Amino acid sequence: MSAGTMAPIERREAPAKSEGAGAWALIGIETKHLLRSILIGIGVVGAVVATFRGSSGEWPTLAGADGVALRAGDFMGAFALLAGAWLGLRDNRTGAHELVGSTPTPPGSVRGRRLLSLAIVSTAAFSLVFLTSIAYAFARGGRGSPDLRLLLDGALATTLASWVGFGIGTLTRSIVVSLFAAPIYGLLSSQGLTYQLNIWKSHASYQWITPSATLPDRSPTLGFFPDIFWLHPLFLAGVATFLFSFVIVAVRQGSIGQRLRGPSTGVLVLGLATALIAGGSLLAKPDGYAPNGSDPTAWVARYDAGTALFADKPFRFADDHRATTCASGRVLTACVYPAYGPKLARLIVTEFEAEAELFHGLPGVPTKIRMVPAEGLDCLTKDGAMAFTEGDIYFLNDQFSSAKGAFVDCITKGSLFGLIDTQPSDARDAIKVWYLLERGVFTPAQASAALAEPPGQACTGPNGETCFDVVQILTAGSWTPASVRAALAMKALPVADVIRGLRPVWAGIRAGTLPLERLPGQAS
Amino acid sequence: MLVTLNGVSKSYRSVTALRDIDLELRPGITGLLGPNGAGKTTLLRILATLLDPSAGSVGVDAWDPANVRDRTEIRRRLGYLPQDLGLYPRFTAFEFVDYIAILKELKDRDDRHRRVRAALESVGIEEVAGRKIRTLSGGMKRRVGIAQAIVADPGLVLLDEPTTGLDPEQRIRFRQLIAGLGEHRTVVLSTHLVEDVAAVCTSVVVLWQGRVLFNGPPVELRAAADGMVWNAPESSPTAIAAWRTESGAFRIIGPKPSGDATAVQATVEDGYLLITSKSPAGVR
Amino acid sequence: MGGHPGWDAPSRTASWAGVVRLVAYRLRPVPWLALIGASAAWLTLVALLVPAQFGTDSAYRLLKSCSIILGLGGAFIVSTEIDPAEPVLRTASKPFWHTPAARMAVWLVLGTGLLAIMVAVLPVTALVAEPQMLMQALLPEFFLVTALSFLGATIAGSYVGGGLSVGFAAALFFASSQWRRVPFRLLDAPPARHASNKVLRHWYGGRLWTLALAIAFLTIPPLARRALLLLSRTEFRPA
């Protein structure tokens, strides 16, 4: 064929190149399909079920429901990873990689838009879980203000999971690796596992640098101890930025030097730097605080507290005047923070009223229970009220109601809360056994019969759990037969006589110095 | 668009797919014929800027696909239908063509959707545009592939086995479509179906074991078999190719067979068979 | 068919070489190397993490999770991704079910072997029970999730089906942890060395229930398919 006789070639103008509208159109299409993904759907449903389950064991507050949603994000993250990996695998699995590769849109740009669509869907999915948790808590009577930083944190964690999946799918092109990666990622990023790790036995708080960080101790009024919810989202954002840029740089053709040219490399370095700085700061944060005063800024890191827990003058909280939601009974008033609602105050009164009535009139027995921001070193506050923390709410649900036992522990020792007596005292133990007899936990006949059994017999339930039967209470603890006999003697007296007899010797009971024979009803 | 290949070769490890290809492809429809393994798909993938040649150079107008910027310019003007067509099964036909249109930088939504609808209509699948691709038949999927190749009004259209899975009516419609495309564009049509080439192509390139065996208009390919095609009641041992026709007689390509044989008009297919046979008479 | 002049009847005499070749072809489409590699990597990581755990509960939860994740290999026994030629294979004279049966047998043996190796290298400390008890703790979950993944993959493909099985397994675990009456105790740790007979009976009962559930997931779909076939007398192929 001769070219000389042909007419001049008509140059066909290509469509004008402009960013914006096309990019968002592509993101819109990918987002639409991802929202219909059954994998995302399973993740959302599973996370919502996990929030319901997580909420059921907690007192409803909006400031707690946000944390429940964040914990459910582990499940969401595994399925977000699966969805991301599917998107990364799609072109190769369907054979469309040639078609997509023959278009003028650079491969990095295509992947960047897909990553953005994953981010949109992940954020929407976690937001749905978050809002469901808040709504559920609200419906159960919870109040207060959720911490929206946890919404940001959870959205970032879910987005990161989806991008990790996209990276795995794109780079490995293996459905085996992608499928295995999802539950492994969910497990390794879950707070439960990392909190248990003790690999280096150091003070480095590695539980904060996982995608799904362990929730720190929290006060509904004072916030988190430590507060990681600026640093942790920043850490996640840094890792996500690094991953975003890495996927785009990795897909470029050419040598490593050629690939690293361009703004993506700068963003990659920025992401890495952000992650390292924020991660390092998180590692340096303590795992918790031991309160040693009313000022939270002066609290000591828990691993540094050491023997401070056993100080001679244990710390007592002053009234912060924030526990303003109160309920009153015959002898007891309970005040909680408003976020917990009046229902909790009424429940506390119901729970402790009988004990407060039983010991009413003895010196130092509290007539008020007040919520405090964290566990103090003393179960009583400076004004003589009994301290009640958020964690104590769980004890209200116990069948045996160990909260009641804690009340009795507190008024008999007046010092350490729920720990082993530093000064064992038979008289103190006798008071406790007498209380259990009065409450009907066991009968005098059962107590007498248990005295005849040898001590130290362990009791194991049908499923291997440790059970609390009369024998266990009386013999597996440190209580002596003498204290049980003393309690039985007091049980024979009217309650009013016992209280009258205890009044003059109560200080000795609290100090742990009173001999058994000085208790009411004892044979001289 | 003018596409030139100068001394293009492509090797994969020990296999040489293309050897020293010199071609000039002008506006019009160029048919690419050849047996399996001849190098047709490799050639198309090089033209589609998906592969770099091992040797030689390629030019598309003034652009060189070896240059990254030029490659992007070429892709802006390219429509490509690969042989192994990969589609997203959960997308609808409309969505998939729209998706590719976006990747081809058609930014304006209304204009893009108009083009997508026109492309789907031109291949006759406008009624199933809203159906998911996984629910479409093989032929319909192929037509989705053709639609995405033409949606952005490309100057260079590369079609690898475009009529696979199409029924005869659709193939005729496809020929009309291609004929219209080829008026102002460079179209390269790789196919096994010689009748498609004969019907629409203005030039034919025959590849054989990675080399160009023939490059010219279909009439010249047909003419290569003039005087070498016969009708006979029986096959001939000296025939280059022979097969029974619907009348029961044998169509024989090669020297005149002995016995009662009549010369018949050669076709493009006869010329193709002749030149690709191992007979010395078939090599140009 | 056959019997006409010129019909070259193929020989259908079985031979060991032919059987071996057939089994090899049946097994080949499964990505064994990827499965073994991914499984071995995961179990190695678990073996490193277990001794670092605080407390028995945490260690057992981790061990249980490893057998559950290992079970995802069941998603690669039979699916549209693994056997795109399934319509052709089903038209052959030899029953198609031989293929998933052979692959499943190989995978169960491989998985059991990998778990046994991991258990053998774990340090026997006060945190964990004897190897035999550990295997009893891990194997039923492995079988159950394998069966679930297999079922999911035959319905929705390896990837989505595997994902579905992860969700369903999570639901089963949730149920067994929430309600004591659920008979398959998927999270229960092995009993102490000198546990009472009642405790041991409860433990083994839970194990048997888990195994029964695994067998149910494996056998119900083909039985249901066969029943439908008999009832309808029309060819039924799963999606």
| Nearest to B48, CA basis, from B36, B23, B65, B30 | B65
Q: Is C175 contained in some domain?
A: yes
Q: Is C11 contained in some domain?
A: no
Quote the number of domains for chain C.
Answer: 1
pLDDT along chain C (239 residues), means of 10: 54 71 85 92 84 71 84 91 77 78 94 90 65 85 93 88 87 80 78 78 88 89 75 54
Pick A182's closest partner by Cβ from C39, C166, C180: C166
| Distances A275 to A142, A244, A279, A501 between C-alpha atoms, Å | 35, 13, 6, 66
More confident residue, A506 or C91: A506
Q: Is C62 contained in some domain?
A: yes
| Distances A217 to A195, A229, A314, A373 between C-alpha atoms, Å | 13, 12, 20, 10
User: What average pLDDT does range A298-314 have in this prediction?
Assistant: 61
What is the three-class DSSP state of A371? Answer: strand
Q: Is C94 contained in some domain?
A: yes
Chain A closest-CA separation from residue C173 CA (Å):
12
Residues from chain A that touch C80, judged by Cβ atoms under 8 A, are none
Tell me, what's the pLDDT at A351? 86
Core vs surface per residue A221-257: b (16+ CB within 10 A) or e: bebbbbebbebbbbbbbbbbbbbbbbbbbebbeeeee
- Residue C76: closest CA among chain A residues belongs to which residue? A176
pLDDT digits (tens, 9 = 90+) for A428-474: 888 888 988 888 877 888 888 777 765 555 555 555 555 555 555 65
Contact criterion met (CB < 8 Å) for C65 and A187: yes
Q: How confident is the model at residue A2 (pLDDT cuts 50, 70, 90)?
A: very low
Residues from chain A that touch B95, judged by Cβ atoms under 8 A, are 29
- The DSSP H or E segment spanning A238 is helix A231-250
User: What average pLDDT does range A355-369 have in this prediction?
Assistant: 89
The residue to which tokens 């159950």 are assigned: C144
More confident residue, B278 or A98: A98
Q: State the greatest distance between any 2 C-alpha atoms of chain B, in Å, as a whole number.
A: 69
Q: How far apart (Å, rounded) are the C-alpha atoms in residues A403 and A392?
A: 7
Chain A closest-CA separation from residue B244 CA (Å):
36
Mutation target vs B (from A26, A102, A258, A261; most B CBs, 10 A cutoff): A102
The residue to which tokens 């203000």 are assigned: A145
Mean pLDDT, chain A, rounded, equals: 81
In chain B, the domains with their CATH numbers are 1-77+154-216 (3.40.50.300), 86-152 (no CATH), 222-282 (no CATH)
What are the beta bridge partners of residue A262?
none
Q: Is C134 contained in some domain?
A: yes
| Nearest to A194, CA basis, from B182, C58, C102 | C58
Tell me, what's the pLDDT at A465? 53
Residues in chain B, pLDDT under 70: 278-284
Residues from chain B that touch A101, judged by Cβ atoms under 8 A, are 50
Cis peptide before C221 (omega within 30 of 0): no
| Nearest to B35, CA basis, from B283, B277, B222 | B277
Terminal CA-to-CA distance of chain B, rounded, Å? 28
Q: Report how many Cβ contacts below 8 Å link chain A to chain C.
A: 99
Decide if pLDDT at A82 tops 90: yes
Tell me, what's the pLDDT at A469? 56
Residue A206 at interface with chain C, using a CB cutoff of 8 Å: no
Q: How much of chain A, in percent, has pLDDT values that exceed 70?
A: 80
Q: Is C10 contained in some domain?
A: no
Q: Is C9 contained in some domain?
A: no
Residue A459 at interface with chain C, using a CB cutoff of 8 Å: no
Quote the tokens at residue C216: 């149910």
For residue C75, give its domain range.
16-232
* pTM beyond cutoff 0.95: no
Q: Is C3 contained in some domain?
A: no
Residue C139 at interface with chain A, using a CB cutoff of 8 Å: no
Assign 3-state DSSP to chain A and report helix, strand, coil percentages, each to 5: 60, 5, 35
pLDDT digits (tens, 9 = 90+) for B5-32: 999 999 988 888 999 999 999 999 999 9
Contact criterion met (CB < 8 Å) for A15 and B85: no
Q: How confident is the model at residue A276 (pLDDT cuts 50, 70, 90)?
A: very high
- Touching partners of B (3+ C-beta pairs < 8 Å): A
Do C and B touch, 3+ Cβ pairs within 8 Å? The answer is no
Instruction: Assess contact for A480 and A498: CB atoms under 8 A.
Output: no
Q: How far apart (Å, rounded) are the C-alpha atoms in residues B90 and A87?
A: 12
Residues from chain C that touch A177, judged by Cβ atoms under 8 A, are 34, 38
For residue C230, give every residue at least 6 positions away whose Cβ sits within 8 Å of its Cβ, in sequence order, or none.
Answer: none
Residues from chain A that touch C195, judged by Cβ atoms under 8 A, are 460, 464
Q: Report how many Cβ contacts below 8 Å link chain A to chain B.
A: 113
Pick C69's closest partner by Cβ from A174, A178, A184: A184
What is the three-class DSSP state of B229? Answer: strand
Q: How confident is the model at residue A399 (pLDDT cuts 50, 70, 90)?
A: very low
Residue A95 at interface with chain C, using a CB cutoff of 8 Å: no
Instruction: Assess contact for A366 and A356: CB atoms under 8 A.
Output: yes
User: What average pLDDT does range A130-150 have in this prediction?
Assistant: 91
